[in-house]
Amino acid sequence: MSDMTKFIHVGDIHAGKTLHNLSRNDDAEYAVSQIIDFAKKENVDFVLLAGDVFNQYNPDTEAIKIIFDFMIKELNALKIPIVMIAGNHDGHAFLDSYKTLAKYANMHLFIKPNSQDYVISIKNTNIICVPYVSHKYLTKITDENQSTEYASKMESFINALIQKAPKNTFNILLSHMMTRNAKITKSEYENTVSEFFAVNLNNIENLKYIDYVALGHVHKHQKISAPTEAYYTGSCFQIDFNEENQDKFFNFVILEEKSTPKILPIKFDLKNNLKTFTINTENFNSGLFQDSIKNLKGYARVIIDDNFENTRVLEHKLSAFQNKILDIRRKSTSNDMNINIDIKSLQNNLLSFYKEYYKSKYGEDLPKDLENLFIELEEEAEQTV
């Protein structure tokens, strides 16, 4: 009988995610429970977590429990190893504080990319681990010229890692990165999924020695063009309203010698769906809108059509559905935005500029939850090495 390995590839869990001040930890926990049940049923050899396991550098207590007290504990009881790489949302200092303890629970953490400690062997499989690499850090760890584009540097870096890595019966690349032609959902951090960061897997010659590329970072399940099988599995639940109506998956992968890899997308059952409704006088007075909200398994965003004269009164009426409606906004008009930009002052006060932009585009002040998110993103950018 030929050698075989079977494993689960999971994308961005984003434990600790909030949406308009609502915790989505119940969605993350529900997804994790399905991964555990499937791993137990299929008796997999290991589970790959492709980064952005947490949504914040310093996750909340509940998010930590979902991953460490639930997922890792349950899989360790089943004697199933976990290999996890850090994504751009995962805090290095936070994960580093758990790295030693995690090994006792059969969890192998790879936090910063390097060319020394980046391969883990499980059974008959070598897993080459490449956590998220910021532009600054990539320049620091490579000998490439400063002017070389990020994508070219990453292609060379990964190619060299594969060349240097020992070979096994099966070889996997686990990486958190943007790739060429990947379809984004717009719920990813925009500054990390631009063309500047898009790695062309077809330029990595040594991928021919890899049996499967397990990708994280992009939130939509998809196959990527490459010399071997390469997949994003996407986020584990609908992260925000950019992902509404999207099905979510993880991959069950079976590698067997002298056989074509079997990649089976396993669909998550979603605890909550996200849906946007446009409300106007007709569908509100008829009760159709109210019925749709009541029957929704999940959360709604409401766009108020311009034909409502007193939208403040309407918003008050909608408060009866406050457990279902997360966001209420007016339909944006095609305003010409006249914003004077002073680059020097902009660098020192991005928040003020964004507030002005939002006011010009939507005709109202920036919501407090978006302001807090903007501040958090600024702080994360400053921490990027």
CB-based burial, 279-310: b 16+ in 10 Å, e otherwise: beeebbeeeebbeebeebebbbbbebeeebee
Q: How far apart are CA 53 and CA 56, in angstroms?
A: 9
Q: Which of 206, 174, 227 is nearest to 51 (CA)?
A: 174
The number of beta carbons lying within 10 Å of the beta carbon of residue 24 is 23
Q: From first to last of its 385 residues, what are the pLDDT tens digits of the chain?
A: 469 999 999 999 999 999 999 999 999 999 999 999 999 999 999 999 999 999 999 999 999 999 999 999 999 999 999 999 999 999 999 999 998 889 899 999 999 998 889 999 999 999 999 999 988 888 887 765 555 789 999 999 999 999 999 999 999 999 999 999 999 999 998 888 989 999 999 999 999 999 999 999 999 999 999 999 999 999 999 999 999 999 999 999 999 998 999 999 999 999 999 999 998 888 888 888 889 999 999 999 999 887 776 667 777 778 888 889 999 888 765 554 554 545 444 555 677 777 777 766 666 677 777 777 777 776 666 555 4
pLDDT, residue 173, reads: 98
- Where do the structural domains in the chain lie, given as residue ranges? 4-267, 273-331, 338-385
Distance CA 86, CA 340 (A): 39
pLDDT of residue 254: 98
CATH 3.40.720 fits 273-331, yes or no: no
Q: Residue 38, class by beta-carbon neighbours within 10 Å (0-12 exposed, 13-18 middle, 19+ buried)?
A: middle
pLDDT of residue 381: 67
CATH number of 4-267: 3.60.21.10
Give the tokens for residue 259.
């056989």
Amino acid at 360: S
How far apart are the C-alpha atoms of 228 and 205, rounded to whole Å? 11
How far, in Å, CA of 200 to CA of 311, rounded? 48
Place of tokens 């320049």: 139
